[in-house]
Amino acid sequence: MGGLFHHLWVYVFGRVKPSMRRMMRSAIGGVLAAILGLTAYVAVILAIGIVLAQAFGVITALVILAAATLILAGVILAIVSGMNHQTEKRAEARQREAAKRLPSPMAMQMLAGLPALMRGRSVLTTLLIAGVAYAVAKNQGVGSDDE
């Protein structure tokens, strides 16, 4: 019996270890790439600083590098802020569109009463429910040629 559970475990969860290994390799690779990228960034900044220091002096070179870094950071923040604003506007537009598709409050009240009507299960109840569904569908514009 234990062998059966072992085989079921391997069948159901057998892919967990390979995906965990793949995630770990990706995480380690990402960390190493980030470290190497930061090392390259620091080397480029140092090289630019040395060139500027030879041309303008150490203090002026540091001020130029700091100003350039601050300007670049400001540009990046402005771009990210703009992208976030656009995302929020798209989400609000989707919410408005979803709200337009909701039934009217009166239709919602009629739909809320349907479970109580279903308990009787008579033919008259079925016809009434079909009528309510038809009215809600027509209210939503189903079957119209406008779309």
CB 101 within 8 A of CB 66: no
Provide the token pair at 133: 């569904």
**Can you give the pLDDT at residue 94?**
87
Give dist(CA 64, CA 24) in Å, integer: 41
CB 102 within 8 A of CB 141: no
| DSSP character at residue 1 | -
User: Would the pTM of this model clear 0.75, i.e. be above it?
Assistant: no
Domain boundaries, the chain: 16-102, 103-138
Q: Is the pLDDT of residue 20 over 90?
A: no
**Can you give the pLDDT at residue 2?**
63
Provide the token pair at 39: 């090392």
The pLDDT tens digits for 47-82 are 999 999 999 999 999 999 999 999 999 999 999 999
